[in-house]
């Protein structure tokens, strides 16, 4: 590689040469080469554009639903197709539009907002995008051939179980959504790592733009919200495919287990959708009101509080399933409590408007739409949190009306405001003559006509998810009005689309900061270059552009940090999490096809599982691991370089030599998600233990003393040896550290044999949910031991290939984190399998 010949010296070139040099390393080739792009601007745009296409598809499905419901006893769609269409509408809107739109928005904007050149893990963004595209396409193809999922977007068991949905439809949902959710988890990890570690120098946590706070909290919620859903999907797919009866009450399972796992995800999901939108509001509103936002700290606290509260609320979706009264009371009051942090934000917004000099520009118009709609949705939400009322309107169109006031009000309107606000940034153009105003009126009038009336339809008793109703019910007028309204709204969205396209083609060039905003994304050229900042700013306040309107020019001339290209590297800065002090130079990977290929192999795995080609699926797994290992050579260094200049007389070490590089954070975060999945599984086992009768059947607990001894011994050996390999004295001697890693590897192999022995002592998992759950949790532990072995092998390879030295220990520390975790969940598994029966009797 080029590294070895160069000597890391740098000189600041002229602005034009600087731009050319940066463009040469950060730019992406044309044609097919575009597929190799990993740059956040490009990948972010792809996410946003794809999500918008899915929004259009979801909207067309909504129109089909409304056409069907417009008249009584309509023969437009049969029941089977209707079920597929409303399921796909909900699924597309929640999983393929709202969440990916947030991911794309965060990826496009975050580095620019934070004064960085890219996300912390650009290849992960690209990989997540391809998984999203392929998984989403799977669902669409299924719909095109009439095999779309049909159990509703929350897929309740037993309706979605094999007995009631024998076809492939439910499998497509479970497998497709799990595939798509890889992108949510990877986005969560890298958004958090990016916000915490790769901000501009000086940007301490309390100087972060509010939007970054919102995105940080949202990403944390995804990190803890999605694992229960993914776990639940895997369990249900395992039941459908291999007849492991986790949700089957005749064999020790329980259908409600699915509801708990689903809503553990599903309720936070609503806030995962709302919070980024609220972040957009908190960003746009003060700029258009021409004053700083009121109550920065109060907003941060309320957003964090909202996130915590929302994880305790899932049961309010289950008030009618028969749960204890005390639980009803708790979850009911907790649900109304959510109104408090939401109100804090709303008062902050109103206060900002009142204290400022608001301008009624186009984004503001959409913000006003957001206010009015969202507040009504919030009020009906409080009504629904009250148990007796909930019993009255449960699963009627009242709920459909509420959820659309919240989702469309809380996400779609802010998103439209954001679209107009950031369009000049995306396209470098300002709108000429705006269709945005008539589009707004069509959308808001159409929306209210559709959904305000739907509250009435619900109170009149019309259930949701029915494909037809009789003429004598009294539901025909409100339904017809709703349907007409929805078509008015659709025309509004069409007009919005036309407006954006016209703007793209015919807008006039925009100045760099058309709104006179204070945040850093407006300090760069629009549309942005791939490297975003020619040099990185030093941040001293929350609105750097307010104090220094010429900051953009200063940075473009190379006056900030890293205003040069060193050795052809892609560089950005890494900081201390709290203080924002510079800690390291983060060297980012070049564009590569590897994420695309890895996603393709991942797709092979999911498609193979769908068509029950399990041998292919089993072969795909090691292939995926091998592909991921192929990502790693460029993320390490083969020699110590010491402190390198970063401009303005300052110096920093490379991330490979830093104490806390982003990759170590990423591993920690991944393990947090992993631990959540494990905890959900343990929760499921405890839940069945408590609710299912005769659980477990005593005859089923099979002792395997040898297996227990080998697995516990192997796991502990792996963990201790992995840790020893990272000790100072050991790292210094290549031979010692490799010996420790070999012992760690052997420990994990012994553990694998032990776990296999324990599994063999469990009765056939198809007999009873206890045997199924026990087998699954043991396999979970086994997979971790297998990966721990891979990490130990990886450490040996990296050590031999020269990637490890006394200062370059990241690879070993990442592996050690994994083996710590493996030992912890392995021991926990043994305790659950053998300890619980003793404790629970």
Residues that bind ligand HEM (CB under 6 A): 59, 62, 65-66, 86-87, 89-90, 93-94, 98, 152-153, 400, 404, 407-408, 411-412, 450, 464-465, 486, 489
C-beta nearest to ligand HEM: residue: 90
DSSP per residue, 2-14: GGGG---------
- Minimum CB–partner distance for residue 56 and ligand HEM (Å): 10
Report how far residue 421's alpha carbon sits from residue 435's, in angstroms, rounded to the nearest whole number. 15
Report how far residue 47's alpha carbon sits from residue 100's, in angstroms, rounded to the nearest whole number. 6
Closest CA to 658 of 644, 648, 669, 670: 644
Judged by beta carbon distances under 5 to 8 A according to partner kind, the member of Cu ion, ligand HEM, none in contact with residue 740 is: none
The answer to whether the beta carbons of residues 624 and 601 sit under 8 Å apart is yes
Q: Where are the beta strands (DSSP E) in 405-492?
A: 429-430
Strand partners, 653: 584
- Decide: helix, strand or coil at residue 357: coil
DSSP letter at 463 equals: B
Closest CA to 201 of 113, 116, 107: 116
Nearer to ligand HEM, 396 or 529 (CB): 396
Judged by beta carbon distances under 5 to 8 A according to partner kind, the member of ligand HEM, Cu ion, none in contact with residue 407 is: ligand HEM
Nearer to ligand HEM, 450 or 513 (CB): 450
- Minimum CB–partner distance for residue 55 and ligand HEM (Å): 7
Nearer to ligand HEM, 210 or 400 (CB): 400
- Minimum CB–partner distance for residue 430 and Cu ion (Å): 40
Nearer to ligand HEM, 491 or 675 (CB): 491
The answer to whether the beta carbons of residues 717 and 747 sit under 8 Å apart is yes
Nearer to ligand HEM, 408 or 781 (CB): 408
Report how far residue 192's alpha carbon sits from residue 661's, in angstroms, rounded to the nearest whole number. 13
Judged by beta carbon distances under 5 to 8 A according to partner kind, the member of ligand HEM, Cu ion, none in contact with residue 759 is: none
Nearer to ligand HEM, 147 or 672 (CB): 147
How many helices (H) and strands (E) the chain has is answered by: 28, 6
Nearer to ligand HEM, 20 or 465 (CB): 465
Strand partners, 251: none
CA atoms within 13 A on the CB side of 111: 31
- Minimum CB–partner distance for residue 83 and ligand HEM (Å): 8
Number of neighbouring beta carbons within 10 Å of residue 728: 8
The answer to whether the beta carbons of residues 170 and 247 sit under 8 Å apart is no
DSSP letter at 94 equals: I
- Minimum CB–partner distance for residue 285 and Cu ion (Å): 26
Nearer to ligand HEM, 272 or 741 (CB): 272
Query: Residue 42, Cα to own-chain centre: how many angstroms?
Result: 18
- Minimum CB–partner distance for residue 683 and ligand HEM (Å): 25
CA distances from 624 to 181, 268, 527, 554, 618 (A): 17, 30, 36, 45, 10
Query: Under 8 Å CB-to-CB from 652, ≥6 apart: which residues?
Result: 573, 574, 582, 583, 584, 585, 643, 644, 646
Structure tokens at 108: 């496009």
Closest CA to 758 of 797, 785, 718: 785
Nearer to ligand HEM, 309 or 412 (CB): 412
DSSP per residue, 235-255: HHHHHHHH---TT-GGGT--T
Tell which positions 678-707 bind Cu ion, by CB under 5 A: none
CA angle 303, 309, 312 (to 5 degrees): 155
- Minimum CB–partner distance for residue 153 and ligand HEM (Å): 4
DSSP letter at 473 equals: G
Pairing of strands 582-588, 570-575: antiparallel
Q: Taking contact as CB under 5 A, which single stretch among the options 39-47, 184-192, 260-268, 805-813 is the one that binds Cu ion?
A: 260-268
Nearer to ligand HEM, 404 or 429 (CB): 404
- Minimum CB–partner distance for residue 270 and Cu ion (Å): 6
- Minimum CB–partner distance for residue 407 and Cu ion (Å): 12
- Decide: helix, strand or coil at residue 688: helix
- Minimum CB–partner distance for residue 342 and Cu ion (Å): 13
> Is 267 a residue that touches Cu ion (CB under 5 A)?
yes
Q: Taking contact as CB under 5 A, which single stretch among the options 263-271, 283-291, 727-735, 740-748 is the one that binds Cu ion?
A: 263-271
Judged by beta carbon distances under 5 to 8 A according to partner kind, the member of ligand HEM, Cu ion, none in contact with residue 56 is: none
Judged by beta carbon distances under 5 to 8 A according to partner kind, the member of Cu ion, ligand HEM, none in contact with residue 465 is: ligand HEM
Structure tokens at 372: 């009015």
Judged by beta carbon distances under 5 to 8 A according to partner kind, the member of ligand HEM, Cu ion, none in contact with residue 267 is: Cu ion
Tell which positions 91-110 bind Cu ion, by CB under 5 A: none
Q: By 3-state DSSP, what share of the chain in percent is helix, strand and coil, each rounded to 5?
A: 70, 5, 25
- Minimum CB–partner distance for residue 673 and ligand HEM (Å): 24
Judged by beta carbon distances under 5 to 8 A according to partner kind, the member of Cu ion, ligand HEM, none in contact with residue 89 is: ligand HEM
Report how far residue 247's alpha carbon sits from residue 239's, in angstroms, rounded to the nearest whole number. 8
Judged by beta carbon distances under 5 to 8 A according to partner kind, the member of Cu ion, ligand HEM, none in contact with residue 411 is: ligand HEM
Judged by beta carbon distances under 5 to 8 A according to partner kind, the member of ligand HEM, Cu ion, none in contact with residue 59 is: ligand HEM
- Minimum CB–partner distance for residue 538 and Cu ion (Å): 43
Nearer to ligand HEM, 265 or 803 (CB): 265
Q: How many residues bind Cu ion (CB under 5 A)?
A: 1
Judged by beta carbon distances under 5 to 8 A according to partner kind, the member of ligand HEM, Cu ion, none in contact with residue 566 is: none
Nearer to ligand HEM, 147 or 736 (CB): 147
The distance in angstroms from the start CA to the end CA of the chain is: 63
Judged by beta carbon distances under 5 to 8 A according to partner kind, the member of Cu ion, ligand HEM, none in contact with residue 609 is: none
- Minimum CB–partner distance for residue 315 and Cu ion (Å): 9
Judged by beta carbon distances under 5 to 8 A according to partner kind, the member of Cu ion, ligand HEM, none in contact with residue 439 is: none
Nearer to ligand HEM, 46 or 89 (CB): 89
Nearer to ligand HEM, 279 or 563 (CB): 279
Q: What is the CA radius of gyration of the chain?
A: 27
Q: Taking contact as CB under 5 A, which single stretch among the options 63-71, 221-229, 262-270, 452-460 is the one that binds Cu ion?
A: 262-270
- Minimum CB–partner distance for residue 360 and Cu ion (Å): 34
Nearer to Cu ion, 267 or 404 (CB): 267
- Minimum CB–partner distance for residue 819 and Cu ion (Å): 38
Q: 3-state secondary structure string, 527-563?
A: CCCCCCCCCECCCCCCCHHHHCCCHHHHHHCCCCECC
Q: Taking contact as CB under 5 A, which single stretch among the options 10-18, 116-124, 259-267, 469-477 is the one that binds Cu ion?
A: 259-267
The answer to whether the beta carbons of residues 447 and 493 sit under 8 Å apart is no
Q: Taking contact as CB under 5 A, which single stretch among the options 84-92, 106-114, 261-269, 769-777 is the one that binds Cu ion?
A: 261-269
The answer to whether the beta carbons of residues 219 and 102 sit under 8 Å apart is no
Report how far residue 711's alpha carbon sits from residue 781's, in angstroms, rounded to the nearest whole number. 10
C-beta nearest to Cu ion: residue: 267
Contact set with Cu ion (CB under 5 A)? 267
């Amino acid at each position: 590689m080029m590294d070895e010949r160069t000597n890391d010296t740098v000189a600041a070139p002229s602005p034009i040469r600087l731009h050319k040099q940066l463009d040469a390393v950060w730019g992406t080739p044309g044609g097919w080469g575009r597929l190799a792009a990993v740059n956040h601007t490009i990948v972010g745009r792809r996410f946003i554009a794809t999500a918008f296409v899915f929004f259009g598809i979801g909207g067309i499905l909504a129109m089909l639903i409304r056409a069907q419901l417009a008249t009584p006893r309509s023969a437009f769609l049969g029941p089977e197709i209707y079920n597929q269409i409303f399921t796909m509408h909900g699924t597309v809107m929640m999983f393929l539009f709202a969440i990916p739109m947030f991911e794309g928005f965060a990826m496009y904007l975050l580095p620019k907002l934070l004064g960085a050149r890219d996300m912390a893990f650009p290849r992960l963004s690209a990989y997540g995008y391809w998984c999203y595209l392929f998984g989403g396409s799977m669902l669409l193809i299924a719909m095109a051939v009439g095999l779309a999922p049909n159990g509703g977007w929350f897929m309740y068991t037993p309706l979605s179980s094999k007995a009631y949905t024998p076809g492939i439809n439910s499998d497509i949902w479970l497998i497709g959504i799990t595939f798509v959710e890889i992108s949510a988890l990877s986005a969560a990890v890298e958004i958090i790592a990016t916000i915490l570690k790769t901000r501009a120098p000086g940007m301490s946590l309390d100087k972060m733009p509010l939007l970054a706070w919102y995105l940080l909290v949202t990403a944390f919620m995804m990190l803890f919200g999605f694992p229960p859903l993914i776990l639940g999907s895997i369990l249900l797919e395992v039941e459908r495919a291999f007849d492991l009866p986790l949700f089957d009450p005749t064999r020790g399972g329980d259908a409600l287990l699915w509801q708990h796992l689903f809503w553990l995800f599903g309720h936070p999901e609503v806030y995962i959708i709302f919070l980024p939108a609220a972040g957009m509001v908190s960003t746009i509103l003060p700029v258009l009101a021409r004053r700083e936002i009121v109550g920065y700290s109060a907003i941060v606290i309320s957003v964090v509080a909202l996130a915590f509260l929302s994880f305790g609320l899932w049961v309010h979706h289950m008030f009618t399933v028969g749960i204890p009264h005390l639980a009803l009371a708790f979850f009911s009051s907790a649900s109304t409590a959510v109104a408090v942090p939401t109100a804090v934000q709303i008062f902050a917004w109103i206060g900002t408007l009142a204290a400022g000099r608001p301008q009624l520009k186009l984004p503001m118009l959409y913000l006003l739409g957001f206010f009015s709609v969202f507040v009504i949705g919030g009020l009906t939400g409080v009504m629904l949190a009250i148990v007796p009322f909930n019993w009255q309107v449960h699963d009627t169109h009242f709920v459909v009306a509420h959820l659309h006031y919240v989702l469309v009000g809380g996400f779609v309107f802010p998103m439209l405001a954001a679209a107009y606000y950031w369009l000049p940034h995306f396209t470098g153009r300002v709108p000429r003559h705006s269709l945005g105003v008539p589009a707004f009126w069509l959308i808001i009038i159409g929306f209210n006509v559709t959904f305000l009336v739907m509250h009435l339809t619900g109170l009149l008793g019309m259930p949701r998810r029915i494909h037809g109703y009789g003429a004598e019910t009294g539901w025909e007028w409100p339904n017809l009005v709703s349907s007409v309204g929805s078509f008015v709204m659709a025309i509004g969205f069409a007009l919005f689309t036309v407006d954006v396209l016209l703007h793209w083609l015919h807008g006039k060039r925009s100045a760099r900061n058309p709104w006179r905003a204070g945040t850093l994304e407006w300090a760069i050229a629009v549309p942005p270059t791939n490297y975003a900042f020619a040099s990185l700013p030093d941040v001293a306040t929350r609105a750097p552009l307010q104090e220094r309107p010429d900051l953009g020019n200063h940075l473009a001339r190379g006056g900030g940090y890293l205003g040069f290209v060193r050795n052809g590297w892609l560089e950005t800065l890494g900081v201390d999490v709290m203080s924002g002090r510079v800690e390291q130079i983060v060297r980012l990977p070049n564009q590569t096809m590897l994420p695309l290929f890895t996603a393709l192999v991942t797709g092979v795995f999911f498609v193979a599982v769908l068509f029950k080609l399990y041998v292919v699926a089993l072969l795909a797994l090691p292939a995926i691991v091998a592909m991921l290992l192929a990502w790693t050579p460029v993320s390490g260094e083969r020699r110590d370089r010491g402190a390198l200049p970063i401009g303005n007389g300052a110096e920093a070490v490379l991330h490979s030599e830093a104490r806390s590089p982003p990759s170590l954070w990423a591993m920690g975060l991944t393990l947090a998600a992993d631990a959540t999945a494990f905890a959900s599984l343990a929760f499921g086992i405890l839940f069945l233990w408590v609710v299912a009768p005769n659980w477990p059947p005593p005859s089923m607990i099979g002792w395997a003393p040898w297996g227990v001894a080998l697995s516990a011994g192997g796991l502990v050996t792996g963990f201790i040896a992995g840790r020893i390999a990272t000790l100072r004295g050991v790292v210094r001697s290549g031979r010692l550290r490799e010996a420790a890693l070999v012992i760690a590897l052997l420990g994990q192999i012994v553990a694998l044999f032990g776990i296999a022995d324990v599994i063999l002592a469990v009765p056939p998992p198809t007999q009873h949910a206890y045997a199924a759950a026990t087998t699954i949790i043991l396999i979970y532990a086994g997979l971790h031991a297998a990966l721990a072995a891979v990490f130990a092998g990886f450490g040996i390879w990296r050590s031999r290939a020269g990637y490890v030295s006394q200062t370059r220990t990241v690879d070993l520390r990442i592996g050690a984190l994994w083996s710590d975790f493996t030992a912890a969940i392995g021991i926990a598994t043994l305790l659950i399998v053998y300890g619980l029966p003793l404790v629970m009797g």
